[in-house]
Structure 1
Amino acid sequence: MATYVLIPGAGCDPWYWHPVADDLRGRGHEVVAVDLPCEDPAAGLAEYTDTVVDAIGDRTDLVVVAHSLGGFTAPLVCARIPVDLLVLLEAMIPKPGETLADWWAATGQAQARREQAERDGRTVGDLWDDFLHDVPPDLAAGLRERDREQSDGPSHQPWPLDAWPDVPTRVLIGSDDRLFPAGFMRRVARERLGITPDEIPAGHMPMLSRPAELAERLESYRTALSGE
């Protein structure tokens, strides 16, 4: 069986992975939901990477799943230790030398978000609207209760790799994502990795809104790679 390593997005407690983590454990896998030092302004990409590697310990057969901001950390983990598969889940895809702060303008995210809202016939809401529009109310309330401050610690450090690590990589996006619209993510994944993403009918938080579908998709990637 595999070890799934779940790397969170900005300001997120590992709790928000629990529906999909429970599903994966029910399939016999080990799950490591990483608690990043997101509130520590002294913690940057190196410290985030160290935290993930330390949480993994001596586990093997690793499937690393990175959500949103986790896309900046996950490839650094893959450059440090052997990883069987990397899944970018609605994740930011950095370029060598790019900072997190620069990523937004470099990719055109704000314009893409605004244009998607116009196509949907709505105004751009706050981030909670973008995050939680398709999440069940009880889980949405739980996420709000666990909201953590995301420090600027990793924001101004150039992404340190010269190239994407040599690890099988899949990109999975939400067809209803309001923060990172599907068309925007298709373009970024194609331009930066040469990958055509797969899609799941979900917003930005499929681990809460579509956990069973997400677990099934992750398992399909793993079994396709392993030949099971």
Structure 2
Amino acid sequence: MSTFALIHGAGVGGGWFWHLIEAELRALGHTTIAPTLWTGDDTDTLSDYADAVVNLIDTSDELFVVAHSFGGFTAPLVAERVPTAGLVYVTAMVPRPGESPADWWENTGFPEAVRSQAAKDGGLTGASDPYVGYFHDVPKQLADQVEGKEPSPPSNTAYYEPWPLDAHPATPARYIVCTEDRLFPAAFQRQLAYDRLGVTADELRSGHCPALSRPAELAAMLNSYTS
């Protein structure tokens, strides 16, 4: 069996975001860790977030590091520090060396991708209402809990610092496109995975928060990556 280190993004309730996935993976015999990384300390760096994950990893099992959204800036730092069997991006930001999270949006063409998709779907993509843009396919009783679970936002230090690696780790990488995502359009994700990781992405019919909207399906996909 495997250990999954699950790294949350923004606006989804911190480590709580993964609680349904953890239950699914543990039922399959796996081990999970899913810390809430952001402490409210504005001096925290991306490397500090990676340290918080690494410090919880205490296993000889094969390790998979899974990133959601903004967690894509932290996950490769973890995979660079500990032996890792697989690095999985779930509708996640994929950084380039020296690129800050703040610069990622323009560098990837994200604004134009959103404008283009919004023109096709009547403005659903990019909607400011989180129940439309983030949680449209999440059960409301779960979506209603997110605000109370959400930690302080990532630090300004982490958001504006250059990503510290010179290259992506050699760890085998996969990308899961969420085809109904209204934050990161599916076509944008597919191109991002190909351009930055050199992979053809796997696909899951879900919005931006599959750990809440499609936990069984996402857990099954993660399980399929294990040996």
TM (norm. structure 1) is 0.93
> Are 1:110 and 2:111 matched, yes or no?
yes
Q: Distance in 1 between matches of 2:20 and 2:51?
A: 26
- Equivalent in the alignment of 2:64: 63
Question: CA RMSD for the aligned pairs?
Answer: 1.4
Q: Distance in 2 between matches of 1:46 and 1:209?
A: 30
Moved more, 208-217 or 116-125: 116-125
Q: Distance in 1 between matches of 2:21 and 2:144?
A: 17
Matches within 5 A, 1:39-188: 39-122=40-123, 124-126=126-128, 128=130, 129-150=132-153, 151-188=155-192
> How many residues were matched structurally?
223
On the 8 A contact 2:3/2:59 being kept in 1, the answer is no
Report the Cα distance in structure 1 between the residues aligned to 2:48 and 2:186, rounded to whole angstroms.
30
Percent of aligned pairs with the same amino acid: 47
Name the CA distance, whole Å, in 1 between partners of 2:148 and 2:117.
Answer: 28
Measure the CA separation in 2 of the matches of 1:174 and 1:134. 12
For 1:134 and 1:58, how far apart are their aligned partners in 2?
35
Runs of 4 or more off by more than 6 Å in structure 1? none
Q: Given that residues 38 and 152 in structure 2 are in contact (C-alpha distance below 8 angstroms), is that contact kept between their aligned partners in structure 1?
A: no
Corresponding residue for residue 10 of structure 1: 10
- Structure 1 unaligned residues grouped into runs of 5+: none
Q: Is the 8 A contact 1:87 1:172 kept in 2?
A: yes
| Native 8 Å contact 1:135 1:208 kept in 2 | yes
Deviation at 1:42, TM superposition (A): 1.1
How much does 1:144 deviate?
2.4
Instruction: Quote how far apart the aligned CAs of 1:138 are.
Output: 0.6
TM-score for the superposition, normalised by structure 2: 0.93
1:195 aligns with 2:199: yes
